[in-house]
Structure 1
Amino acid sequence: MAGALPLGDPAPVDGLIPASASVGASERDFGVYLHVPFCRVRCGYCDFNTYTATELRGVKQSDYASQAVLEVESAGRILKESGLPQRLVSTVFFGGGTPTLLPATDLAKMLQAVRAEWGIAPGAEVTTEANPDSVDAAYLASLAEAGFTRVSFGMQSAVPSVLATLERTHDPDRVPLVVRWARDAGLDVSLDLIYGTPGETIENWRASLEHAISQAPDHLSAYSLIVEEGTKLARQIRRGDVVPTNDDEQAEFYELADELLATAGYHWYEVSNWAKDAAHESRHNLSYWRSQDWWGVGPGAHSHVGGVRWWNVKHPAAYAERVLSGVSPAVGRETLDEATRELERVLLLSRIRTGIPIASLSASGRHEVAGLIADELINARAALSGSIELTLKGRLLADAVVRRITE
């Protein structure tokens, strides 16, 4: 949902998907992503497709849920008319933006549309992102009653100076409260952290990790700060107002995260994600890394079904105009060729702990395995069992590993 839309072919106004996408569809999971493109303020590091009240060009947040429902209903029709088999939804994820800026009843309405159109599989994972200052106990209880099972809080840091640099508005003391309220509602809890903020010290990062671990979440994400061109933070760095964290510091932050989280009983299952156990791994994100199928609802949302990828118009005003007129909001798409699909398969699977079956690599990729073991980039024991699993060093150099097994 971030940055400029990719290049591709124009999407057809009826949204119909090529017949090739139906091949093997019954063997793939089907998930739904619902993008809520609203934020109270724009954080200086963020280039996601989000809009504050002054950027909406007359669009009302109160109308958005009904517009998203129209796309869900259209999506069901498009999949049927394109010859895709009916599949229950295995995961639902509300992202943004800040989905919880909308009333809980709006999120419930959107989830009910997904349930009515496709059905939701028993035991499905239903997640929303939330800022710690955008929910209270009653709101979280309403989500649980509507069928949500999981909430992912954007904690980012426990250090006020770091939060200020990121322009995050919540008080760190709010995090224990929202975690407790989510637990009381019966929701699983994930905490999202960011490391490598300009000015952040290793002691700052340790304090954030320890604070997050003390909340005993089911799942934690720790992402390095990426300075995206066009953001306020990028301009600050270019002017010399702040000094970016260098690669060695980023590596030190990551190594500390892995050490503290492992000691606390969390296992890494994807380069930037840790969970208490397999049951609490993010199934929705795993579906992305395993190249499963998903429909993305909302402005700028991306979808992928059977090697066909498409993306919606970005601005909420353009999105509203299309869905209200019965036109597909998709603006561009691409059908991936076999070489591209294979490259993406290796790129994505290399990030998760279960790894890539060595036998599925090309001959040149298989030839690299011995060297990767010697360089301590992949786990020797896993390789003997037939799969590639990154070591800690390999996770820090994941892109280099991918290049070696795909060239």
Structure 2
Amino acid sequence: MTTGAHDPAGLALSPPPRDPRAPFGIYLHVPFCASRCGYCDFNTYTAGELGSATSPADWERAAALEIERAASVLAGSGTPPKVDTVFVGGGTPSLVGADVLVGMLDRIRSTFGLAPGAEVTTESNPESTSPEFFGRLREGGYTRISLGMQSTAAHVLRVLDRAHTPGRPQEAVAEAARAGFDHVNLDVIYGTPGETDDDLARTLDAVVDAGVDHVSAYSLIVEDGTALARRIRRGELPGTVDDVLADRYEQVAERLSRSGFHWYEVSNFATDESGYCRHNMGYWRGGDWWGIGPGAHSHVAGARWWNLRHPARYAAAWDAGDLPVEGGERLHDDDRHLERIMTGLRLAEGLPDGAFTAQERERADLQVSAGLLRRRPADGPDGPGYALTESGRLLADGVVRDVLL
């Protein structure tokens, strides 16, 4: 297989050697959606947008080839790393059906092998799931389900162009639990134009009552080029307001905390450590993963590369005997340091003193004085360091920026 223009840095053919003791993950991107949500700028495509250019079968075939290739590259002259976490995201993975999702996991299992106790997650749209769907996934080795809820308010869902009906996410949670899933996440979006405090309160009540062990709560971000951004620009909807978003985040945190959830990353809450998304923890801690599928990003030992975004180009690259890589970079020590601070300070565990330069520690001490960071105890499991306070979580990005400047 040639590198050509599809692996300009040669990283996907020959990434740096990785620490064999470090956890390793695989991300599998399913780029298909039944309809496009108004706020979405992810690398996803509806059937109408794709036309006859490509199909789920083309994606499945190409992704299977990339799994095989990734295992071969990382094996070198030995064996590939065992996979600690698998995360299937999108798009809407549930659209391709449980048999395809289980088949892709079987391929990962047969080429890489799964580590004992591996976490295997798939995102799903509640409207494209069923008791049979969850049963097949659980039987096939999936351990965790992530469902998009966003809101229980019908008018909020309409603004977001969400396809599911209020109540269906809770039904899907119950179906997943009956299928044997102990770990289920619900996604919530707050700050949608027209959402009220009462709307969010009812959504959070439904989340808690559903009995999940994990909640991801995100403030609405209006991305340029989306249908929602165009509606706001035309004056059809009001824009988001930072103070309102901060108030809503506090509402989310208070309600979930009162119900037994604790935050472990600024936007993520779990009932206990067993409910943490280990795959995402790998991202936040600077771990290694290989991204399979159109537009997927990979990171191995300080090398990063990303695939061609369009499913047709991604599949065509394989047909031409090329890797589907669009670009890549080798991260310098300064880059890796910057990213460690940016992601690590968003975690409740924070970072040890050794993660910071002397000047950064001085600036972090100023954030401690301002009540936005706290000093971690010296006798803790990772020694002294810095972590966000409750107030600091509201200004996490600014805190990180001020420490790094």
Global fold match (TM > 0.5) = yes
- Structure 1 residue 379 corresponds to structure 2 residue 374: yes
CA distance in 1, matches of 2:317, 2:376: 53
CA distance in 2, matches of 1:313, 1:168: 27
- Aligned ranges for residues 212-231 of structure 1 at < 5 Å? 212-231=207-226
* Pick aligned residue for 2:49 from 49, 52, 55: 55
Deviates more, 1:62-71 or 1:228-237: 62-71
Aligned to 1:112: 106
Length, aligned pairs only: 396
Instruction: Output the amino acid matched with 2:177.
Output: R
SS in 2 for 1:233: helix
* Pick aligned residue for 2:391 from 366, 390, 393: 393
Instruction: Output the amino acid matched with 2:260.
Output: G
Calculate the aligned-residue CA RMSD, in Å. 1.8
TM-score by length of 2: 0.94
Are residues 378 and 85 of structure 1, via their aligned partners in 2, closer, same or farther at CA, if it must alter by over 3 Å? Answer: farther
Aligned to 1:302: 297
Instruction: Output the amino acid matched with 2:391.
Output: K
The answer as to whether partners of 1:38 and 1:99 remain within 8 angstroms in 2 is yes
Deviation sequence 1:57-86 (CA, Å, 0-9, x none): 4212233222211110011122234x7873
Aligned to 1:26: 20
Deviation sequence 1:213-248 (CA, Å, 0-9, x none): 111101000001111111111111111110012000
Aligned to 1:142: 136
Shift of 1:264: 0.3
Aligned to 1:5: none
SS in 2 for 1:178: helix
Aligned to 2:184: 189
SS in 1 for 2:223: coil
- Structure 1 residue 17 corresponds to structure 2 residue 11: no
Are residues 377 and 384 of structure 1, via their aligned partners in 2, closer, same or farther at CA, if it must alter by over 3 Å? Answer: farther
Shift of 1:144: 0.4
Aligned to 1:339: 334
* Pick aligned residue for 1:252 from 242, 247, 250: 247
Shift of 1:359: 2.9
CA distance in 1, matches of 2:274, 2:133: 25
Deviation sequence 1:78-130 (CA, Å, 0-9, x none): 2234x787311000000000000002111111111111111001111100000
Instruction: Output the amino acid matched with 2:98.
Output: A
CA distance in 2, matches of 1:143, 1:67: 22
The answer as to whether partners of 1:127 and 1:152 remain within 8 angstroms in 2 is yes
The answer as to whether partners of 1:49 and 1:300 remain within 8 angstroms in 2 is yes
CA distance in 2, matches of 1:164, 1:391: 35
SS in 1 for 2:134: helix
Aligned to 2:193: 198
The answer as to whether partners of 1:57 and 1:317 remain within 8 angstroms in 2 is no
- Structure 1 residue 406 corresponds to structure 2 residue 401: no
Deviation sequence 1:21-76 (CA, Å, 0-9, x none): 21x52132110000000000001100000000012142122332222111100111
- Structure 1 residue 209 corresponds to structure 2 residue 209: no
- Aligned ranges for residues 234-245 of structure 1 at < 5 Å? 234-245=229-240
- Structure 1 residue 40 corresponds to structure 2 residue 38: no
Aligned to 1:353: 348
The answer as to whether partners of 2:350 and 2:385 remain within 8 angstroms in 1 is yes
Aligned to 2:166: 172
Instruction: Output the amino acid matched with 1:51.
Output: Y
TM-score by length of 1: 0.94
The answer as to whether partners of 1:34 and 1:95 remain within 8 angstroms in 2 is yes
CA distance in 1, matches of 2:106, 2:191: 39
Deviates more, 1:190-199 or 1:392-401: 392-401
Are residues 149 and 266 of structure 1, via their aligned partners in 2, closer, same or farther at CA, if it must alter by over 3 Å? Answer: same
CA distance in 2, matches of 1:357, 1:95: 31
Deviates more, 1:111-120 or 1:84-93: 84-93
Shift of 1:381: 5.3
CA distance in 1, matches of 2:372, 2:258: 22
Deviates more, 1:265-274 or 1:198-207: 198-207
Shift of 1:326: 3.0
CA distance in 2, matches of 1:404, 1:15: 35
Deviation sequence 1:6-35 (CA, Å, 0-9, x none): xx99535793124xx21x521321100000
Instruction: Output the amino acid matched with 1:392.
Output: E
SS in 2 for 1:65: helix
Deviation sequence 1:162-204 (CA, Å, 0-9, x none): 0010000111111221111100111121000001111111111
CA distance in 2, matches of 1:279, 1:11: 40
Deviates more, 1:30-39 or 1:318-327: 318-327
- Structure 1 residue 126 corresponds to structure 2 residue 120: yes
CA distance in 2, matches of 1:41, 1:369: 45
Are residues 9 and 360 of structure 1, via their aligned partners in 2, closer, same or farther at CA, if it must alter by over 3 Å? Answer: farther
* Pick aligned residue for 1:158 from 152, 163, 172: 152
The answer as to whether partners of 1:14 and 1:328 remain within 8 angstroms in 2 is no
CA distance in 2, matches of 1:112, 1:237: 45
Instruction: Output the amino acid matched with 1:401.
Output: V
CA distance in 2, matches of 1:290, 1:337: 17
Runs of 4+ residues over 4 Å off in structure 1: 380-385
The answer as to whether partners of 1:62 and 1:102 remain within 8 angstroms in 2 is no
CA distance in 2, matches of 1:65, 1:143: 17
The answer as to whether partners of 1:382 and 1:389 remain within 8 angstroms in 2 is no
The gaps in structure 1 that reach 5 residues or longer are 1-7
Are residues 146 and 132 of structure 1, via their aligned partners in 2, closer, same or farther at CA, if it must alter by over 3 Å? Answer: same
The answer as to whether partners of 2:296 and 2:307 remain within 8 angstroms in 1 is yes
Deviates more, 1:353-362 or 1:340-349: 353-362
Aligned to 2:83: 89
